[in-house]
Amino acid sequence: MEIHLLELLQGYYLQLFIAGTAMTLRLFFASLFSGFALAVLLTALRATGIPVLRWVIAAFVEYHRNVPALVQIFVWYFGVSQLFPAAIRNWMNAQNGEFLFAYIALGLNVAAYMSEDLRSGLRSIARTQMEAARALGLNFTQAMRDVMLPQALRVASPPLVSQSLGLFKATSLAMAIGVAELTYSARLVDSDTFRTFEAFAIVSVIYLVGSWSIAGLGYLLESRLRRAGSQ
């Protein structure tokens, strides 16, 4: 079995791989940032203790944890899109609607998982911290923002990095609705050139570089925070 790596690493095919990588990264960062922001909000809301909020957010989290991500993407892409009138639907299709729905689905998914990690992080910070903050005269929001959440974030960073890694790999699911990300481009190049091994190998290497970078960053973060925390 000869290996024709170089054929694929130039010209048109190289463009395809680059485009795929770019799309993967776009989807990843968009979902990551939105998801994280939403997770922080959800955690803070849940911590207020208001029963309705807790219930709704708990349901939100349980839905996203117990349904496969792929199915969640389908619910958005096939299901929710159908709820819009035809005109809007056509506009969305023309405007890369697949990306939008994949972004929404993955963003919500990662938000659910991250809010759980933040919630356990929060729980591990002694209640006395909150009491001390309130005793100083800070209101709930300020106490959350300046005292509780920063500490919760520190404790929760390893699982949060873990979730980011999961999200990075989950972007590959978007190919099922036609998003031209990296796995999609692997399939594309394969069907075009029949150089399956080379195409898959190139894409795998790219994924591994991404995954290992995230994991490496997480490891660095962990040791930095551990050192800082022991002062």
Partner 1 sequence: MLELLQTYTPWLLVGQYPSGPIGGLALTLFLAVTGLVCAFPLSVLVGIARSSESRWARAPAFVIVHIVRGLPVLMLIFWCYYVIPLLFGRSVPGIATLIAALIFYEMAFLGEVVRAGIQAIPKGQIEAARSLGLSRTRCMLDIVLPQALFNMIPSILSQFINLIKNTSLGYIISVEELTYFGHQINSTVLTRPMEVFLMVAAFYFVVCFSLARLVGWTERHVRRRRGNLIAQGGEQ
Residues binding partner 1: number (CB under 8 A):
37
Q: 36 or 77, CB closer to partner 1?
A: 77
The CA distances from residue 164 to 122, 159, 215, in Å, are 19, 9, 9
- The overall longest dimension of the chain from CA atoms, in Å, is 73
Kindly indicate which of the ranges 46-54, 80-88, 111-119, 132-140 contains the residues binding partner 1, using the contact rule CB under 8 A. 80-88
Kindly indicate which of the ranges 12-20, 118-126, 136-144, 168-176 contains the residues binding partner 1, using the contact rule CB under 8 A. 168-176
Burial 188-217 (b: 16+ CB within 10 A, else e): bbbeeeebeebbeebbeebbeebeeebeee
CB of 6 to partner 1, least distance (A): 20
| The one among 26, 193, 200, 225 contacting partner 1 by CB under 8 A | 200
Query: Is the Cβ–Cβ distance between 122 and 43 less than 8 Å?
Result: yes
| The one among 63, 92, 151, 157 contacting partner 1 by CB under 8 A | 63
| The one among 9, 50, 65, 84 contacting partner 1 by CB under 8 A | 65
| The one among 39, 104, 106, 175 contacting partner 1 by CB under 8 A | 175
Alpha-carbon span 22 to 83, nearest angstrom = 30
CB of 15 to partner 1, least distance (A): 20
173 is an interface residue for partner 1 by CB under 8 A: yes
212 is an interface residue for partner 1 by CB under 8 A: yes
**Tokens in use for 168?**
């990075």
User: DSSP letters along 76-145, please?
Assistant: IIIIIHHHS-HHHHHHHHHTTHHHHHHHHHHHHHHHHHHHHHHHHHHHHS-HHHHHHHHHTT--HHHHII
CB of 173 to partner 1, least distance (A): 7
H/E run at residue 2: none
Alpha-carbon span 79 to 101, nearest angstrom = 10
204 is an interface residue for partner 1 by CB under 8 A: yes
The residue ranges that bind partner 1 (CB under 8 A) are 62-63, 65-72, 74-75, 78-80, 82-83, 169-173, 175-176, 183, 186-187, 196-197, 200, 203-204, 207-208, 211-212, 215
